[in-house]
Structure 1
Amino acid sequence: MIVEKRFADLTTTELYGLLRLRVDVFVVEQTCPYPELDGRDAEPGTLHVWVPGADGEVLSCIRVLENGEDRAVGRVATAASARGRGLSAQLVRRGLELCAGRTVDIGAQAYLEGWYARFGFQRSGEDYLEDGIPHLPMRMVAPTT
């Protein structure tokens, strides 16, 4: 099951679960102290998408952002205990469905370039460091009609 909600529709328990997972993965596991709460979660156009576990915990999540006419998929995270099940891939595919007809950008950790390429993303610029972790911009260009 995949759950999709706007910020205003999240329960406090759901919001806590999403933020807890992202902090566990991006701050604690990757030993990268940075401001995980960037203000984009609460934007009216942001959609939070996740897979809940049997007891309601968040196993894997993404967020889909509006960037003008384009979209962005980000904050792709999966709990260590839930990895290897294809949950992130399932969520990225759903995120792309939600962005249908739009150009989609991601800021990928460099080691995941090949993983994102399998969904159709292509490198769109030079590597960069974000909070000490190598990243690269990737983009899937919307089809022209």
Structure 2
Amino acid sequence: MLTIEVKTFQELTTQKLYDLLQLRSEVFVVEQNCVYQDIDGKDQNALHILGYSGQKLVAYTRLFKPGDYFEKASIGRVVVRSNERKFKHGNTIMEASIDAIKTHYNETEIKISAQCYLKKFYNNLGFVEEGEAYLEDGIPHISMLRLPDRV
């Protein structure tokens, strides 16, 4: 079971910021062998969803209100520590993120840029593909949209 925290950038302690950057680097840079600029200047405008198992950060997303990243509200940097995926923390962190968008932004339409191999995972959360696949940082992605009438 995850304990969820929702924080603005200003509310993040130095340790929480370090932990989330370390987790993102561990998965996106090292595990996926993808050299890219993770620290992109957007964290300051994001709402950060942190998922803890005990005292350890094991899942994370960042959220944007409409217009800050995409035209619609969005969820990005969805990450779960590899040895924790078997516990379905991805579902928990995504459901918490969808709820946070409703609560903090009063929005129900959500856009994501999903890694193609995770389409089915996002389909099960109510997201549908939009357009053609594209490369983002050398990894196949697809735009996906979650509309309130589709869930």
| 1-structure distance, mates of 2:32, 2:86 | 18
- Check if 1:131 corresponds to 2:137: yes
Q: Given that residues 103 and 140 in structure 1 are in contact (C-alpha distance below 8 angstroms), is that contact kept between their aligned partners in structure 2?
A: yes
**1:85 equivalent in alignment to 2:87:** yes
Contact 2:47 2:62 (8 Å CA) reproduced: yes
Q: CA deviation at 1:81?
A: 2.0
Q: Which runs of 5+ in 1 are unaligned?
A: none
Query: Unaligned regions of 5+ residues in structure 2, if any?
Result: none
2:7 is equivalent to residue 11 of structure 1:
no
* Percent sequence identity over aligned pairs: 36
Provide TM-score, normalisation by structure 2. Answer: 0.87
Cα deviations across residues 30-88 of structure 1 (Å, max 9, x unaligned)?
00000011111111xx211111232x331111111113372101111111121111111
> How do 1:1-145 residues align onto structure 2 when only pairs under 5 Å count?
1-43=3-45, 46-54=46-54, 56-68=55-67, 70-100=72-102, 101-143=107-149
Alignment root-mean-square deviation, CA: 1.3
2:98 aligned partner, one-letter code: L
1:107 touches 1:136 (CA, 8 Å); kept in 2?
yes
- Runs (4+) of structure 1 exceeding 4 A deviation are none
1:99, distance to aligned residue in structure 2 (A): 2.1
| C-alpha contact 2:65 2:101 (8 A) present in aligned 1 | no
Q: What amino acid is the match of 1:58? A: L
| Amino acid paired to 1:57 | K
CA distance in 2, matches of 1:2, 1:39: 24
Higher-helix-fraction structure: 2
Query: What TM-score does the superposition give when structure 1 sets the normalisation length?
Result: 0.91
Answer whether contact 1:64 1:74 (CA < 8 A) is retained.
yes
